Chains A and B, each alone.
Chain A
Amino acid sequence: MPAHLPDQILVRSSEDLVRVRQAVRSRAVELGFSLVDQTKIVTAASELGRNMLDHGGGEGTVSLEMLTAAGRHGLRLTFEDKGPGIPDIDLAMREGYTTKGGLGLGLSGSRRLVNEFSLVSRVGEGTKVTIARWR
């Protein structure tokens, strides 16, 4: 793996989100994603990365993983923070629900942009969101 394409990116500022978008984009290109699919996974990554900054204690990591299964290629991204956690996941997933004056689209919107979405959160420990998009 080339040095400029890390498997894991520490997100502590919106400048780091720029790096996340670039890394996700180049992986998606490498996997042969269509332009629309590239745009969807990069946008989802941007939303979930920002969630870590805004709600996940201001810091988290994004892990990038290329997948191959049954001849198909995909990209899996894991967003992990040690923030306050989400007390009510159903409420947090609801479109338009926001606690910090955002648009409330981060979780509900990014789920629509990917093929797989899972969210695990423990109050006081942190949140882990895993998404995957297949070619």
Chain B
Amino acid sequence: MERIPILKMGDCLLVSIQVDMHDRLAITLQEELTDRIVAARARGVLIDISMLDVVDSFIGRMLGNIASMAKILDADTVVVGMRPSVAITLVELGLSLQGVRTALNVEKGMDLLRGSMEDVSEGQDAGTPA
């Protein structure tokens, strides 16, 4: 069966979407990703869409759903690598990807995820009685 690989890097999961998505593939990805977040105790999810030459409202909704599901499972999501032509088209289409954090590339995305994890752990440390 066709599927999108999910790689583990430390406490982050890395997904690179390299094929044109149809519905079944999108649903499989959502299910596998949520399973892996729990199994790997992941705190961050990085989704690379640099290979996608089109993001329509279906894919936009899927990215938003993944981010919401991950959030409930206590993991942050960052979408990276959006092509400029895709960004222009998304804005004209009226899709602002609300609730989805983005970064320019994988490196900046990882920085963003690590930063938000550190914020959380510092916050927890501060709350712990000495």
Contact = CB atoms under 8 A, between A and B. Distances in A.
A and B pair up: yes
Interface of A: 13-15, 17-18, 21-22, 25, 35-36, 38-40, 42-43, 46-47, 50, 95, 102-103, 105-106, 108-110, 112-113
Given A25-B54, A47-B56, A103-B61, 9 more contacts: A14-B23, A14-B24, A25-B53, A36-B85, A38-B85, A39-B86, A39-B88, A43-B54, A113-B93
Nearest to B25: A14
Contact of B85 (A39, A108, A109): A39
Interface in B84-101: 84-86, 88-89, 92-95
B57 A102 contact: yes
Nearest to B90: A43
A43 B58 contact: no
Contacts of A50: 56-58
B89 A106 contact: no
Contacts, number: 71
Given A35-B85, A50-B58, A103-B61, A110 B93 contact: yes
B86 to A, nearest CB: 6
Interface of B: 20, 22-24, 53-58, 60-61, 83-86, 88-89, 92-95
A112 B22 contact: no
A113 B54 contact: no
A50 to B, nearest CB: 6
A43 B22 contact: no
Nearest to A16: B22
B22 A106 contact: no
Contact of B20 (A21, A103, A106, A113): A21
Contact of A36 (B20, B22, B57, B88): B88
Nearest to A46: B56
Nearest to B95: A105
Contacts of A21: 20, 54
A36 B53 CA distance: 10
